[in-house]
Structure 1
Amino acid sequence: MAILDFVKPDKILVTEFSNKKGIFHLKPLEPGYGITLGNSLRRVLLSSLKGFAVTSIKIEGVKYEFSTIKGVAEDVTEIVLNFKKIRLKQIIPGTQKEVVNVVISEKEKIITGKILNKFILGFQILNHDLVICNKEEFLDLKISFTIEEGRGYVPAEEHKKENIGTIPIDSIFTPIVNVKYSVESCRVKQKTDFEDLSLEIKTDGSILPKKALMEASKILIQYLSIFSSEKIDKKEKVKIKRNKKKYNEEFSKMRTLLKSKLSEMDLSVRTKNCLKLASINTIEELVNCNRNSMLKMRNFGKKSLDELEGKMKEKGLYFGMKTSDYKL
């Protein structure tokens, strides 16, 4: 059966474009498709694109994050937060990880992203004016940090701590700074209920907004293509039927057990007599009892209760069972 014709845009209109910002218009869209596409693309853009970030640092002479360094204005916690702000761009294709060893000479007083860039091979720090720390003159400072590839946001706890002195960092891998979308009405011939989707994408400069939009679209297509093919596994239907059959068998078995007499439980004569005196004759009546109230029965002690609970456990029974579910 042919799919009914939808009004679809034949191209995307770009109204603003730079290395870090792009505004894209998609029109005309059928009613409701603006929000559907805008929200889906926004979520994928913010959470699913690959990027690079610093995942750990190590400073010579520092064992823990909550430390200070003699001759450095910032404490280690502040330095860690500054490394977290670093935005990176891959400059050698295929580079997914790099351990950078930095030796700051005595004459350098202000350590910035520009200085760190001198020691990096496969990547480039984009915010080169970012101040990492301020130090006194005539102080050598040795820092090593690891750059890795990832998606979205990964907390420090999820980074593997290699050894003492290595400080894991919360990593913001996503190259997307912000995504906004809006939907307005537009006209197609005489109809005015069609939609114009405006999508504003801001990146950190490591990826062009246009490429980011393309990557997000590909991810959505990969997921949605599963539903548009014959890949829906028919075996799952068989599995569901088997599970349902198993459930029905267990349901029927429990229902029969609850309707049974207490003689089915192979109890001691003393316990049987105590239950009989309390007018408890079926397993259903037994499981409806309160455990604490059992000890109040005449001649029924802790030993009898332990015996009874042991037998009940063997059959998957317990005090306070909801027997109404079994339609008794």
Structure 2
Amino acid sequence: MKTIKTAPYIPTDINIEESNKNRIKVSVYPFESGYAITLAHPIRRLLLSSSVGYAPIGLKIEGVTHEFDSVRGISEDVSPFIINLKNIRFVYKAFAESEEQVVVNYSFKGPMGLTGADLANDVLDVVNKEAYLATINEDAVLNFSIIVQKGMGYVPSEEIRKVVPEDFIPLDAYFTPVKKAIYEIENVLVEDNPSYEKIVFDIETDGQIEPYKAFQEAIAVMHAQMSIFGADITAVPAIAKGSADDAAELKDLMVKIDTLNLSARCFNCLDRTGIRYIGELVLMGENDLKNIKNMGKKSYDEIAEKLQELGYPVGSELPSELVLSLNKKIIKMKN
């Protein structure tokens, strides 16, 4: 005779498997049937959207007036210099962690190859010290200042322009330190019942934050968001139509594809086709992607891998309401 329950089973086990210092697998179990997906999806969304990171949001180069300028004695023009700078992942030194923003001035004399390691100082450290920034020729001097900001998610340069001084070039800011957050749900046996579930999270960060700390912070954000329901529910206003989770997901899907750090060949293939946003790729099926002009197998595999890391494998099905909102948003942004 099947036992009649009066309360759901409470998970009792959590295991952490470390692949390397920036990647872990977290297994949590056992959950009642259907409970795992209920918790796993919002945790993934919070990992990707609410983890705090650091990014350069403003750049000022001596003698430069705009982002399409060139710099005397530097091999790179300003535009590729900016792209290289946005790929450098900063982190504040311990005593500066309470600061939301820091402004740092640099001066370098050639000949030298400038890398991320050269940008580390008493206030900032750099995670990817080997990242290339520029080549300074002999007898050339490069003086520049950057503004590094603490933040969440992605903020386009159009919004950044409102918060940086006029003499700084505003930069698209991709703060999120979580590179990958995906999950799988497996069945586990509990007292001869095989219908219980296990969540296996696969979390990878860029080194700005330890992956388990990012996981803990996502859980803390979820608890804080849920705390409203501990208040007097008679005082809570009527819930508006629409899903806040869908709204957050829409915002993430409207991030530009240049944040994916695609190879130049792959990016140019999409750019020539007029594809600007991650959501456009998510809406496309396998055949649609492969039929893009000049889309080779290597470029397709690169895109498929990036979408998989974001939790949207090629061919993923989105809720119909989200698809409708996404299509409307894309049309509006392109017109």
Contact 1:150 1:173 survives alignment (8 Å) = yes
Contact 1:21 1:209 survives alignment (8 Å) = yes
Q: Which amino acid is 1:75 matched to?
A: D
1:116 correspondence with 2:119 = yes
Paired residues for 1:167-178 under 5 Å: 167-178=169-180
1:101 maps to which residue?
105
CA distance in 2 between counterparts of 1:235 and 1:199 reads 35
Where do 5+ consecutive residues of structure 2 fail to align? 240-335
Shift of 1:225: 2.2
Contact 2:150 2:175 survives alignment (8 Å) = yes
1:185 correspondence with 2:187 = yes
CA distance in 1 between counterparts of 2:164 and 2:193 reads 63
Question: Which one of 185, 196, 199 corresponds to residue 198 of structure 2?
Answer: 196
Distance 1:8 1:169, change over 3 A: same
> 1:16-38: per-residue Cα shift (whole Å, max 9, x none)?
25431110001111111221211
Shift of 1:187: 0.7
CA distance in 2 between counterparts of 1:226 and 1:4 reads 25
Q: Which amino acid is 1:124 matched to?
A: D
Question: Which one of 20, 26, 35 corresponds to residue 33 of structure 1?
Answer: 35
CA distance in 1 between counterparts of 2:8 and 2:73 reads 68
> 1:126-160: per-residue Cα shift (whole Å, max 9, x none)?
11111111121110110110011111111111113
Shift of 1:112: 0.6
2:57 maps to which residue?
55
Q: Which amino acid is 2:117 matched to?
A: K
1:148 maps to which residue?
149
> 1:5-51: per-residue Cα shift (whole Å, max 9, x none)?
21121231112254311100011111112212111111000001211
Q: 1:44 is paired with a residue of what secondary structure?
A: helix
Shift of 1:164: 5.0
Paired residues for 1:118-133 under 5 Å: 120-133=121-134
CA distance in 2 between counterparts of 1:56 and 1:77 reads 13
* TM-score w.r.t. length of structure 2: 0.65
**Rg bigger for which structure?**
1
1:157 maps to which residue?
158
1:23 correspondence with 2:25 = yes
Distance 1:232 1:76, change over 3 A: farther
1:86 maps to which residue?
88
Contact 1:87 1:125 survives alignment (8 Å) = yes
Q: Which amino acid is 2:84 matched to?
A: N
Structure 1 stretches of 4+ moved >3 Å: 161-165, 234-237
Paired residues for 1:275-286 under 5 Å: none
> 1:272-316: per-residue Cα shift (whole Å, max 9, x none)?
xxxxxxxxxxxxxxxxxxxxxxxxxxxxxxxxxxxxxxxxxxxxx
CA distance in 2 between counterparts of 1:234 and 1:96 reads 32
CA distance in 2 between counterparts of 1:221 and 1:75 reads 47
Q: How many pairs were matched up?
A: 232
Contact 1:19 1:207 survives alignment (8 Å) = no
Q: 1:150 is paired with a residue of what secondary structure?
A: strand
CA distance in 1 between counterparts of 2:64 and 2:163 reads 15
Contact 1:112 1:128 survives alignment (8 Å) = yes
CA distance in 1 between counterparts of 2:136 and 2:149 reads 27
Where do 5+ consecutive residues of structure 1 fail to align? 238-328
Contact 2:155 2:174 survives alignment (8 Å) = yes
Distance 1:130 1:232, change over 3 A: farther
CA distance in 1 between counterparts of 2:223 and 2:235 reads 19
CA distance in 2 between counterparts of 1:204 and 1:24 reads 17
2:291 maps to which residue?
none
Contact 1:98 1:148 survives alignment (8 Å) = yes
CA distance in 1 between counterparts of 2:124 and 2:206 reads 14
Root-mean-square deviation over aligned CA pairs: 2.0
CA distance in 1 between counterparts of 2:237 and 2:174 reads 40
CA distance in 1 between counterparts of 2:16 and 2:216 reads 14
